[in-house]
Amino acid sequence: MTRALFTPITIKNVTIKNRLVMSPMCMYSATNKEGFLEDFHFTHYISRAVGQIGLIMLEATAVTKQGRISEQDLGIWHDNHIDPLKKLVNGIHQYGAKTAIQLAHAGRKANISGEIIAPSAIPFDNQAKTPKEMSNNDITDTIEAFQHGARRAKEAGFDIIEIHSAHGYLINEFLSPLTNKRNDAYGGTKEKRYRFLHEVILAIKEVWDGPLFVRISAHEYQNGGLTPQDYIEYAEWMKKDGVDLIDVSSGAVVPATIDVYPGYQVPFSETIRNGAKILTGAVGMITSGQQAEEILKNNRADLIFIGRELLRNPYFAYEAASQLNTDIEAPVPYERGWK
């Protein structure tokens, strides 16, 4: 019997051998504070490729030094970042996995020294720094930074780019009426709040022709905030702009209480997938092969993003295959060792 979880999928020109994705998870381990990969990152990512995850996605990688979530974030704001990233990409490819990178800017949630920026001068909470409201020049410079990040990702050999537009970071701040109080071309209506992401997508597509994903926070868990129904329309616009898949997460836009339980975000993925007729990825407390198979077989998502469970178990794919009574091939070097 064919198991959906271990069926290949081709998106644009990239074929992923199964539906399992290593979800982007900040490790805060670039202790050099200049955004460079450490030995840890090579072990961390390549071990999951050895474990037969189909797509390995790097954590939020800052397109500007100012846009880091923390001073220990990975970066792609300088050409010097390209060669180490290329070495990591080659290491992941060696074990049959495809590679992706999540391009990010933290906006008002940047926990760094110095000035931080956001669509509006509203702090995240009472303990957070108040950001500077972005000028038109700031907006132009940041869009260009995303474009340069995409160009560097291409030079490093990544197969897929994901734009981080979730969890209350900069692009999400533009999209949400809770965080965007502008009355210019970038705020005031839903269409204007989308403009920043629209221009980021178009700028990236000038230098990138591979698959393009966008991670979103489909529900803000707050009165007046965005919901999955709002994101159906946003997803339709993204699809028109050339986005191939929506990576559906939720929350962290503003402080909120969230009822977390297994698969709690999967209905959001299903709503957007079937409402906008676009590929989606489901994420959030997906911890077994049976759970992942149900999501795929019932057309609730097209990819399964595994986060914390993959931190606990780098060989989750093998465990999921066992749960589904199916076999998966080992990486070639391991097969040779077994013969």
**Mean predicted confidence (pLDDT) in 60-78:** 98
DSSP-derived pairing of the beta strands 9-11 and 14-16: antiparallel
Q: Domains in the chain and their CATH numbers?
A: 4-338 (3.20.20.70)
**Mean predicted confidence (pLDDT) in 14-36:** 97
Res. 74: pLDDT tops 70: yes
Binned at pLDDT 50, 70 and 90, residue 263 comes out as very high
On average, the pLDDT of the chain sits at 96
Measuring CA to CA, which residue among 178, 49, 169, 38 is closest to residue 102? 169
Res. 277: pLDDT tops 60: yes
**Mean predicted confidence (pLDDT) in 18-23:** 98
| 47/44 Cα distance (integer angstroms) | 6
Report yes or no on whether pTM surpasses 0.75: yes
User: Do residues 54 and 11 make contact, with C-beta atoms less than 8 angstroms apart?
Assistant: no
**Mean predicted confidence (pLDDT) in 44-54:** 97
Binned at pLDDT 50, 70 and 90, residue 337 comes out as very low
Binned at pLDDT 50, 70 and 90, residue 338 comes out as very low
Res. 50: pLDDT tops 60: yes
**Cα torsion for 165, 166, 168, 174, to the nearest 10°?**
30
**Mean predicted confidence (pLDDT) in 236-250:** 98
Instruction: Map tokens 């990152």 to a residue.
Output: 41
Binned at pLDDT 50, 70 and 90, residue 333 comes out as low
Res. 109: pLDDT tops 90: yes
Residue 294: other Cβ atoms inside 10 A: 16
Helix, strand or coil, per DSSP, at residue 271: helix
| 106/67 Cα distance (integer angstroms) | 5
Q: Which tokens hold the place of 234? A: 């946003």
